[in-house]
Structures are given as C-alpha cells and as structure tokens.
C-alpha cells in the first residue's frame, strides 16, 4: 500500500492567483454606503427608464469628476460556510453645484446592467460644493470567479463624465473562499493506492455540511470523461470514505469530488500524473499493411520516432521517422517488423524505448550459414515476399568502419530460400554482410560478420587475427599440432554440450544431420550477430576445418 496525501486542488483552473491564496478578505456585518463626513448620502434604485444623458453643465468642464477609484472585495457571513462576496467601490469625487449624486452600474457577462443611485443630501452638497469628497459603497453582490464591468456616472447623467473599469472577483482557489463560500467548498481529497487490487481509497474532509458528496474517476482529455467508477457519500455517513476501482494507472486518471448541489465546484486530484511510462503501451502492428501505430491513452506532448536498437542498448533513430504527438494516433506505414526496430518516445528531457517486435514473431528474414568444402555458403529465406539489399563490406585495419564493396538487390519470394553469390568473398575474413529490406519505408539493418573459414593456423596473417594468432604462429609446428589435437578432443565434448544448450535456447535452431552428413546447418534469426560464429563452431564436425573453428570459439 502506497500512501499519498495530496493537497486539495491540483486542477489547472485553480492554480492561478496563488499569492491571494492565504489572504483573508475583510469581513463586514452588513453592506453600507458611506460618504465623507458632512456629506449626507443615501441609495435609491435606478429609474426604470433613465433619461438620456445631458450636456455637461459649465462647471464640469474644468477637471475630471471621479478620482482615485479603487475596487476590492469584502465578505459578509451568515454562518461558517455561508459567506457571500461584495464589491467595494471607493472613489474621490469632485463635487460641484450641478452634481446631485452618482450612479454605480455593474455588468457581468450575459447579464443586464444593474445600477443604483447614491444621492447627496441637498443641504450638505451645497455647503461642500467645490470640494473633493470620498464615497465608499459595498452593496454590489458579486460571485467568485466573476468578471465585472463597473461604470460610474454622475447624477443627473452628464454625457462623457463617466468612469469605467473591469474587476476580476477572487477565485475559488482563494483559501478564504474555499473554506467559507459554499459554491467554492469542494471538500479535500486524500487517497491510498492499492496497486494489487487496482483500487483507490479516497477520504473526503472539509466538505460542505448537510450535503451528499459525489466521487468519481475520470480521464482528463478536453473534459474529464468518467470511467464509470463512482460513489455517493451520504451526508449522514460519519466516515467520508469510498473505494474506486481503476484499470490502468494513467497520468490523466483523476479523482473528482463535488457536493451534491447545483453548480458546485469540483476538486480534482490525479494520483498518477507522473506515470508517463504508462502511456507507451498499446503499440499495434498490422502485418498485412505493415503499419505500426500507437495512440496515446492520455493527451501528451511527446515526439515519437523509430529507431534501431544496437547491442549496447542505444537506439539509433531511423532517418525522417520523428513525429510530434499530442492526442492523435501516430502511424508509420511500411515498417519492417524487425526485432531490433523500436519506438522511441521522448517527452521533455526523458526518453523511453519500446520494442514491439522483440519476440521475432513477425520477423521476415532468416539467414542460414553453412560451411562446406572450405567455403561459407549463405542462404536467405524470407517469410514474406520482400526485397533486400545485401551489401558486402570489409573492415580493414585502417578503418574500423565497414566499407561496402558491393551491393546486390534480392527479391525473395515467400518461403523460397536463395543462396548468396558472395561465398568466395566471405571466406577472406573481416567481411560482413549488411542486409536491409528495401521495399519498406522504415527498416533495420542487419550485420553478419564472418571470420576466415579456410585458413590454417600457420598461414594466419598475424595482423588480422590479433594476439591470439600471433602466439600460435611462433610455436613450433610439432607442439602446435599436438596441442591442437588435445584442444580438439576437449572441445569436442564441450561443444556437444554447448550445441545442445544452443538448440534449446530461443536464439535460433540448428539441424544436426550427423547420421547422413557431417556438415551442420545452423539457422539463426538475423537479429543475432553471432550466427556466423555459431555456424562455424558447429561445423567442427567437418574434418578439414574443425580446428580453426574450435579455436575461434576459445577466443570468444
């Protein structure tokens, strides 16, 4: 059981305004309208049909009427979870004889404009005419997350003497609202993951009192789409806990909770949001169309490329195979289902490799190596009709890169084996075959490298065979021969064991034809780079060339 304790809100819509998070709002008992000492003011509703604005009086042309307008939010509460928000408007007003009051209008998206008139008592406004007076009003109700447009006008309404501004009401992520404004109270979720049972046990705290509570699991795409797992915690239940089953720990799998009331805000927690590796499953291959595809189970910003996995584990990108992905299915057409051909997923700075063909199920090509009469014969057999390029390359002491000397193109028909006409070359040593399908868009390249097959020890050019060959060259012939015989006898026993083990392994298969023919065929899937050695080793039964091949095994 892994224990996760989460903070309440992780969904994106609640992440902004973090600075306001811990700021408590000013509380008021009752909304009010206040004017500077001496100026009597009272509010009255707007006229139903306000007259059109009039041209400003002569005393209004000199300077602006509204100064230093400030907007803020205050809260009034009738109970612990029953607070409401009010917009507080403060302004400094340049009072003149023609101004009898002011109008405050507010407008929210899709709603009618709502206005109230603050009228100044006649006696006080006349005595204070020409002065700057302060007006404060907090009787405009606002809702969390609302954007309000505010228009201040003079009363009577003089054209063009207005102040307009917009105000964003605090959002439900504000800690104060989250605790005390009912529509922002979402409850807090904490959970335990039981990976064996694939269950999430969810505890709910700080939920809206006297309301039932909903919980569900959903997959977050454009919206959060329910997975079907849900629970209702009744308000009477003392333990606010429920268990929800999940099928895969996907990064977009979220627990959502909300109070059973209209327009309730929801809390969303995504327990597996860091488990990106869960996404790199579900790679599909259509062997007839040779289409490799993958669809992200969750939206993800990643790059997908094809690559060939080398023996050292590094996966080399195939040229022009990279695609960007977010939500859509990714397809690669005409792909060679080679065991080393893999998909590389890169998200951020991390990469993951998935090799869908590693089991060799769809592998097209088998290369058989047979040694006969001092020649190495290479036969190719394909499970499907396919065209291959077969390059012969040679490694030299000066350049470790294999230099291609000739390239052939072979069209192989399904299940018809074809011999390679390069057999003479392959016995020179340091030669490799580079085989690749050319009738597909994305293919891996196989390398089959060979040792010499028809040389005797004493003829070995020391430079090519390294220290092992050198040692042998200086040993006198007599010692050499007796040593060879001893080694051969010991190795014969060892090799029989080795060969049997090899036959059992899934790396390839060998057909022994001891009864009829001393030559052995060893067929190895092309992923391996040692088939040539294996073929050579087993041909130890061949009388002429056994020693060399056994000795080769020793050196490995």
Ligand X SMILES: *[C@@H]1O[C@H](CO)[C@@H](O)[C@H](O)[C@H]1NC(C)=O
* Shortest distance in whole angstroms from residue 302 CB to ligand X: 10
Quick check: helix, strand or coil at residue 501? helix
Buried b (16+ CB within 10 A) or exposed e, 473-499: eeeeeeeeeeebeeeeeebeeebeeeb
Which CB sits closer to ligand X, 10 or 323?
323
Which CB sits closer to ligand X, 3 or 493?
3
What's the CA gap between 466 and 320, in Å, rounded?
40
Which CB sits closer to ligand X, 311 or 406?
406
Residues 6+ apart with CB under 8 A from 32: 137, 138, 139
Which CB sits closer to ligand X, 119 or 322?
322
Q: Is 132 in the site for ligand X (CB under 6 A)?
A: yes
Which CB sits closer to ligand X, 322 or 512?
322
Contacts with ligand X, 223-262, as mask; x by CB under 6 A: ----------------x-x---------------------
* Shortest distance in whole angstroms from residue 270 CB to ligand X: 15
Which CB sits closer to ligand X, 242 or 491?
242
* Positions 398 through 417 that interact with ligand X (CB under 6 A): 413-414
What's the CA gap between 312 and 80, in Å, rounded?
65
DSSP string for residues in 167-208 = EEPPPTTSHHHHHHSGGG---EEEEEEETTTTEEEEEEESPP
Which CB sits closer to ligand X, 3 or 397?
3
* Positions 56 through 95 that interact with ligand X (CB under 6 A): 67-68, 92
* Shortest distance in whole angstroms from residue 326 CB to ligand X: 10
What's the CA gap between 321 and 355, in Å, rounded?
15
Taking CB under 6 A as the criterion, the residue among 120, 191, 258, 332 binding ligand X is: 191
Q: Is 423 in the site for ligand X (CB under 6 A)?
A: no
DSSP state of 54: B
Q: Is 385 in the site for ligand X (CB under 6 A)?
A: yes
Count CB neighbours of 153 within 10 A: 23
Q: Residue 77 forms beta bridges with which residues?
A: 83
Taking CB under 6 A as the criterion, the residue among 32, 166, 421, 511 binding ligand X is: 421
DSSP string for residues in 89-128 = EEEEEE--TT--EEEEEEEETTS--EEEEEEE-HHHHHHT
Count CB neighbours of 207 within 10 A: 22
206: left (phi over 0), alpha (psi -120 to 50) or beta: left
* Shortest distance in whole angstroms from residue 222 CB to ligand X: 21
Which CB sits closer to ligand X, 47 or 385?
385
Q: Is 419 in the site for ligand X (CB under 6 A)?
A: yes
* Positions 303 through 362 that interact with ligand X (CB under 6 A): 303, 322-324
What's the CA gap between 10 and 255, in Å, rounded?
11
Assigned token pair, 536: 């050579």
Q: Is 466 in the site for ligand X (CB under 6 A)?
A: no
Q: What angle do CA 65, 67, 70 make, to 5 degrees?
A: 135
Number of residues that bind ligand X (CB under 6 A): 21
Contacts with ligand X, 90-119, as mask; x by CB under 6 A: --x---------------------------
Q: Is 192 in the site for ligand X (CB under 6 A)?
A: yes
Q: Are 261 and 217 in contact (CB under 8 A)?
A: no
**Binding interface with ligand X (CB under 6 A):** 3, 5, 67-68, 92, 132, 190-192, 203, 239, 241, 303, 322-324, 385, 413-414, 419, 421
């Amino acid at each position: 059981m892994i224990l996760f304790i989460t903070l309440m809100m992780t969904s994106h819509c609640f992440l902004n305004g973090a600075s306001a998070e811990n700021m408590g709002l000013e509380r008021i008992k009752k909304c009010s309208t206040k004017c500077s000492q001496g100026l009597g003011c009272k509010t009255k509703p707007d006229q139903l049909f306000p007259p059109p604005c009039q041209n400003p009086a002569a005393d209004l042309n000199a300077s602006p009427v509204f100064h230093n307008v400030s907007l803020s939010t205050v809260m009034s509460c009738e109970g612990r979870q029953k607070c409401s928000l009010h917009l507080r408007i403060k302004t400094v007003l340049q009072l003149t004889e023609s101004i009898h009051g002011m109008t405050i209008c507010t407008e929210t998206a899709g709603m009618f404009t709502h206005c109230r008139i603050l009228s100044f008592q006649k006696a006080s406004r006349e005595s204070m005419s020409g002065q700057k007076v302060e007006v404060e009003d907090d009787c405009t109700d606002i809702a969390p997350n609302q954007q309000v447009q505010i228009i201040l006008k003079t009363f009577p309404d003089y054209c063009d003497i207005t102040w307009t501004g917009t105000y964003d009401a605090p959002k439900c992520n504000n800690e104060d609202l989250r605790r005390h404004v009912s529509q922002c109270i979402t409850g807090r979720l904490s959970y335990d993951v039981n990976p064996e049972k694939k269950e999430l046990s969810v505890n709910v705290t700080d939920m809206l009192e006297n309301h039932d509570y909903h919980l569900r699991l959903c997959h977050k795409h454009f919206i959060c789409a329910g997975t079907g797992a849900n629970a209702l915690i009744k308000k009477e239940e003392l333990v606010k806990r429920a268990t929800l089953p999940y099928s895969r720990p996907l990064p977009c799998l979220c627990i959502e909770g909300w109070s059973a009331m209209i327009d309730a805000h929801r809390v969303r927690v995504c327990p597996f949001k860091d488990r990106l590796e869960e996404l790199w499953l579900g790679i599909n291959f259509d062997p007839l169309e040779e289409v490799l595809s993958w669809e992200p189970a969750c939206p993800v910003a990643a790059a997908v490329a094809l690559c060939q996995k080398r023996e050292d584990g590094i996966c080399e990108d195939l040229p022009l195979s990279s695609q960007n992905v977010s939500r859509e299915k990714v397809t690669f057409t005409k792909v060679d289902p080679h065991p080393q051909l893999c998909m590389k997923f890169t998200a951020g700075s991390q990469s993951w490799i998935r090799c869908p063909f590693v089991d060799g199920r769809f592998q097209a090509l088998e290369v058989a190596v047979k040694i006969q009469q001092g020649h190495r014969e290479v036969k190719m057999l394909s499970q499907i009709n396919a065209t291959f390029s077969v390059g012969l390359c040679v490694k030299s002491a000066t350049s470790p890169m294999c230099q291609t000397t000739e390239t052939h193109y072979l069209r192989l028909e399904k299940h018809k084996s074809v011999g390679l006409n390069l057999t003479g070359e392959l016995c020179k040593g340091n030669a490799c075959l580079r085989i690749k399908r050319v009738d597909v868009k994305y293919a891996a390249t196989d390398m089959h490298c060979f040792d010499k097959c028809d040389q005797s020890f004493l003829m070995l050019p020391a430079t090519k065979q390294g220290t092992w060959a050198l040692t042998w060259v200086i040993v006198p012939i007599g010692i050499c021969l007796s040593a060879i015989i001893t080694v051969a006898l010991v190795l014969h026993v060892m090799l029989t064991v080795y060969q049997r083990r090899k036959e059992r392994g899934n790396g390839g298969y060998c057909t022994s034809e001891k009864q009829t023919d001393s030559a052995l065929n060893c067929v190895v899937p092309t992923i391996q780079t040692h088939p040539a050695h294996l073929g050579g080793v087993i041909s130890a039964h061949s009388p002429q060339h056994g020693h060399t091949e056994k000795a080769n095994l020793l050196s490995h």
